[in-house]
Amino acid sequence: YPLPGSLGFEEQDAKTFASWGIDYLKYDNCHHDGSKPIERYPVMSKALKKAGRPIFFSLCEWREMHPAEWGFHVGNSWRTTCDITDTWESMISRADQNELYAQYARPGGWNDPDMLEIGNRGMTKDEYIVHFSLWAISKAPLLLGCDIRNMTQETIEIISNKEVIAVNQDSYGIQARKARMHGDEEIWVAPLSSYRTVVVILNRGSVRYSVTAFWEDMGLDPNTVVEARDLWEHKTLKNRFVGNITTMLNPHSCKMYVLKPIS
């Protein structure tokens, strides 16, 4: 039997949402009639545009028809993964899947690897920092999936990191790509405004070791001298770096730097 939903009532519901002052609509794919998402979602998109209020339209069709390839003309974000759960394996795999569609993200339309699990207590602090760093550098929507009434101070500190959020909100809106992968080492990179580059140096493995990010992997001239801002320590490193930057990483942890050329 049919369940409550907007299918067939898109204009009525869009006007109702607008009258309620709604800013964000996540339009899920549950209990549809078998028609294709590429047919159903544009109907609600048009209804929202006629509703008289700007409403962020989040397409959640579970990547059934690769919405990154057509979603920009329909909504403001689109799910590139199945549902996330509060585990390291789920989180990191969603980041991997989302990265495959990096070329499609741009201001006005974003790849969505699903909500943040920070605060649900299934991962460690280091793992949640990786989670927030990868979502931010990937320009993913930063939507909280925890009970905000019961957040710990640790959770609040992670999700309110203004420097990391600023990377997510950078005006260029360029999603990060994996510049290098070697075993459990990964280098995620994205250009930022004002000639800056942001890099996440990631240890996906279970052993502590040193990881180096090279300028050539980031598209920087090897002779470029940069200052590095550590976004989780909130400090600019005293050393200047040429050609590469190296850091020691614990298992399932990362460093996030903004590199700014100084010569």
Q: What pLDDT score does 2 carry?
A: 62
d(CA 204, CA 213): 15
Decide if pLDDT at 199 tops 60. yes
Per-residue pLDDT of 93-139, as tens digits, reads: 999 999 999 999 999 999 999 999 999 999 999 999 999 999 999 99
Q: What is the Cα 26 distance to its own chain's centre?
A: 16
Whether residue 28 lies in the annotated active site: yes
d(CA 131, CA 93): 11
Per-residue pLDDT of 205-240, as tens digits, reads: 999 999 999 999 999 999 999 999 999 999 999 999
What class does CATH assign to 10-168?
alpha beta
In the three-class reduction of DSSP (H, G, I as helix; E, B as strand; rest coil), residue 56 is classed as strand
Whether residue 83 lies in the annotated active site: yes
Which residue of the set 13, 23, 28, 86 is catalytic?
A: 28
Per-residue pLDDT of 160-196, as tens digits, reads: 999 999 999 999 999 999 999 999 999 999 999 999 9
d(CA 230, CA 247): 11
d(CA 95, CA 138): 8
CATH number of the structural domain 177-261: 2.60.40.1180
Which residue of the set 13, 23, 33, 83 is catalytic?
A: 83
Domain ranges of the chain: 10-168, 177-261
Burial class (CB in 10 A: 0-12, 13-18, 19+), 210: exposed
Q: What pLDDT score does 263 carry?
A: 67
Per-residue pLDDT of 30-61, as tens digits, reads: 988 899 999 999 999 999 999 999 999 999 99
DSSP string, 201-237: EEE-SSS-EEEEEEHHHHT--TT-EEEEEETTTTEEE
